[in-house]
Amino acid sequence: MTDKKIPVGILGATGSVGQKFIELLNDHPWFKINELAASERSAGKKYSEATNWIMASPLNQEIADKEIKACDTNLKSKILFSALDSSVAGELETKFAEAGYYVISNSKNHRFDEDVPLMIPEVNPDHLELIKTQKTKGAIITNPNCSTIGLVLALKPLHDAFGVKDVNVVTMQALSGGGYPGIPSMDILDNVIPFIGGEEGKMETEPLKILGKLNNGKIDQPKINISAQCNRVAVTDGHLECVQVNLKKQTSVSEIIEVLKSYKSLPQTLNLPSAPANPIEYLESDKHPQPRINRNAGAGMSVSVGRLRECPMFDYKFVILSHNTVRGAAGGTILVAELLKAKGYLDNVL
């Protein structure tokens, strides 16, 4: 890489995902935060005046003093990370792409556009080719749902080695996945909420696009049956998922564990800054993974898998854990941007 860092902007910079982008991009070796943009009520204010900083790390003074700009196409940074709310993200991201910006989005709006990649860099890096079919000066690239990412990262090596036929997944999702201020304490303390709006549909459909094969500018989706049940639990960070699978080929517990442990992909080969050395960490203890203990594996970018065993109804069952605001949101989106840069997709905007 060159010594000069690439200037980037953050859309929706005042919200919880926008704050996580700021935290993770602080001292990033390739990217430098150049602009912060948010809603009209925040535009014109200093960042420190417009946001309630909820990250564990202190707010960088340079960022605190930055003036928030409006989310319009006057931004100078041509590479934008979008943490926009879905109520406004669809139209705004399209406008930016039409104006020549590259938008790497954590929002749901464009995930199922035929020409928009739905990216997990270790799973489907070849899907980036879809942006060449987009009819805009710039491009939109999307990050999947936070619970989808952990699931698909664990399924990918199994699908490659044995073929996945059926998946049943039950999630226990952290509070931070609902944004700030989130669920009222009287609703979640001493309680589990067995519904997260739209979540089950995302988990049942997004993996099929991500695991699909790119063929002449189209994605051929695999025939995998997925059933999801999603629950909100009183955990700060870290989505835990109990998974059952049927596989196409016969195998064994020991062989599956070896496939999971050895899995690496293009981000590891390219040594991208945010890529964990091991995208999947298998834990031998029957009591793990646990959110409080294991969510920061690989600086929050690794998926922890444990309790793999035979299942009386399916072939196998296991538990996975992923950090929903790092790998599942801002960190995963930054890794997409790193892959775009490393593969030369950003050369024409730099």
Please give the sequence-ordered ranges of beta strands (E in DSSP) within the chain, or none if there are none: 6-11, 31-38, 69-70, 79-82, 102-105, 139-142, 164-173, 213-215, 218-220, 225-232, 239-247, 280-283, 303-310, 316-322
146 is catalytic: yes
Rounded CA-CA distance 67/350 in Å is 23
Question: End-to-end CA distance of the chain, in Å?
Answer: 13
User: Across all residues in the chain, what is the average pLDDT?
Assistant: 97
Other Cβ atoms closer than 10 A to 257: 16
Rounded CA-CA distance 334/82 in Å is 11
The pair of three-digit structure tokens given for residue 312, joined into one six-digit string: 């009386």
The pair of three-digit structure tokens given for residue 179, joined into one six-digit string: 């944004």
Q: Which parts of the chain register pLDDT below 70?
A: 1-3
Tell me the domain boundaries of the chain.
6-145+330-349, 146-323
Tell me the helices (H) and strands (E) count for the chain, helix number first.
11, 14
**Which residue is it, tokens 């930016």?**
96
Question: What would the pLDDT profile of 138-162 be if each residue is shown by its tens digit?
Answer: 999 999 999 999 999 999 999 999 9
Q: H helices within 164-234, ranges in order?
A: 185-188, 199-210
Q: Which of 340, 215, 199 is nearest to 266 (CA)?
A: 340
Rounded CA-CA distance 242/303 in Å is 13
Rounded CA-CA distance 328/206 in Å is 13
**The dihedral of CA 112, 117, 123, 126: what is its sign?**
positive
Rounded CA-CA distance 26/23 in Å is 5
Question: What would the pLDDT profile of 48-80 be if each residue is shown by its tens digit?
Answer: 999 999 999 999 999 999 999 999 999 999 999
**Which residue is it, tokens 């629950």?**
231
In Å, what is the CA distance from 145 to each residue of 106, 125, 255, 346?
Answer: 8, 17, 29, 24
The answer to whether the beta carbons of residues 104 and 82 sit under 8 Å apart is yes
Burial class (CB in 10 A: 0-12, 13-18, 19+), 263: buried
The pair of three-digit structure tokens given for residue 348, joined into one six-digit string: 């024409």
Q: Which CATH architecture is the domain 6-145+330-349 placed in? A: 3-Layer(aba) Sandwich (3.40)
pLDDT at 1: 42
pLDDT at 2: 45
Active-site pick, 127, 159, 239, 323: 239
239 is catalytic: yes
Q: Which CATH number fits domain 146-323: 3.30.420.40, 3.30.465.10, 3.30.360.10, 3.60.110.10?
A: 3.30.360.10
Rounded CA-CA distance 108/209 in Å is 14
pLDDT at 3: 57
Active-site pick, 110, 146, 159, 230: 146
**Which residue is it, tokens 């860099």?**
121
